[in-house]
Amino acid sequence: MSTKRTFTMIKPDAFGAGNAGAILKMIEEAGFKLVAMKITRLAGDAAGKFYAVHHERPFYKDLCAYMSSGPIIAAILEKDNAVADFRKLIGATNPADAAEGTIRKLYATSIEANAVHGSDSDENAAIEGNFFFSELEKVGV
Ligand code: ATP
Ligand code: MG
């Protein structure tokens, strides 16, 4: 099914390395419109709440510590087929497996510090976007 919106984060590794601008350029050049965007930090238990679906996985504690280790950019993106097309643009979770030209191939440094997040379904895109943004902050296009 064709979907209109997805949610992304530029993670602490990519933001800290000064790659946010280059990554946003790739996102816009791939045809995604920015609906909402902010620099923020997943302080306290916010990372734990965001990644609650992963709480049984062995990397959960490390992932939460890493995701709260520095500022991130959170953004809602709009494009036809947004969820699937964005997952294609970012590439595989492990940068070693990511296709040439993908954001993770270019900017990720490890399976954990993998530069960007992309929602995995329409339902999660809406939940994740609502975690960071109020309706008033979603400007739309
Ligand atoms: P994301 O949800 O961030 O877009 P993804 O959907 O490709 O990534 P998930 O399986 O949802 O991958 O994992 C969420 C995040 O947890 C990954 O992006 C990565 O930062 C981290 N992660 C996943 N697998 C591992 C692992 N084996 N070891 C360490 N960290 C991991
Ligand atoms: Mg995921």
Let me know: does 104 contact 26? Beta carbons within 8 Å.
no
Let me know: does 85 contact 29? Beta carbons within 8 Å.
no
Decide which of 1 and 80 is more confident. Answer: 80
Let me know: does 88 contact 107? Beta carbons within 8 Å.
no
Q: What is the pLDDT of residues 115-141, one digit of tens each?
A: 999 999 999 999 999 999 999 999 875
Instruction: Find the mean pLDDT for residues 90-101.
Output: 98
Instruction: Find the mean pLDDT for residues 76-92.
Output: 98
Q: Give me the percent of the chain exceeding a pLDDT of 70.
A: 97
The pTM is what? Answer: 0.95
Residue nearest ligand 1's atom 12 by CA = 93
CA–centroid distance, 141 to ligand 2, in Å, is 26
Of 10, 42, 63, 89, the residue with max ligand 1 atoms within 8 A of its CB, to mutate for a pocket test, comes to 63
Return the structure tokens found at 53.
Answer: 């679906």
In the 8-state DSSP scheme, what is residue 92?
-
Residue 16 CB coordination number (10 Å)? 15
Return the structure tokens found at 13.
Answer: 């590794």
Residue nearest ligand 1's atom 15 by CA = 112
CA–centroid distance, 135 to ligand 2, in Å, is 23
Query: Which pLDDT does position 3 carry in this prediction?
Result: 73
Pairing of strands 116-118, 5-10: antiparallel
Q: What is the pLDDT of residues 42-72, one digit of tens each?
A: 998 999 999 999 999 999 999 999 999 999 9
Let me know: does 16 contact 115? Beta carbons within 8 Å.
no
> Dihedral of the CA atoms 116, 120, 123, 128 (nearest 10)?
-20
Query: Which pLDDT does position 119 carry in this prediction?
Result: 98
Cα(133)–Cα(18) distance, integer angstroms: 24
Beta carbon of 111 within 6 Å of any ligand 1 atom: yes
Beta carbon of 109 within 6 Å of any ligand 1 atom: no
Query: Which pLDDT does position 141 carry in this prediction?
Result: 58
For the annotated catalytic residues, the residue numbers are 117
Query: Which pLDDT does position 36 carry in this prediction?
Result: 97
How high does pLDDT run on average in the chain? 96
Cα(31)–Cα(8) distance, integer angstroms: 15
Q: What is the pLDDT of residues 21-38, one digit of tens each?
A: 999 999 999 999 999 999
Domains parsed from the chain with CATH numbers: 5-137 (3.30.70.141)
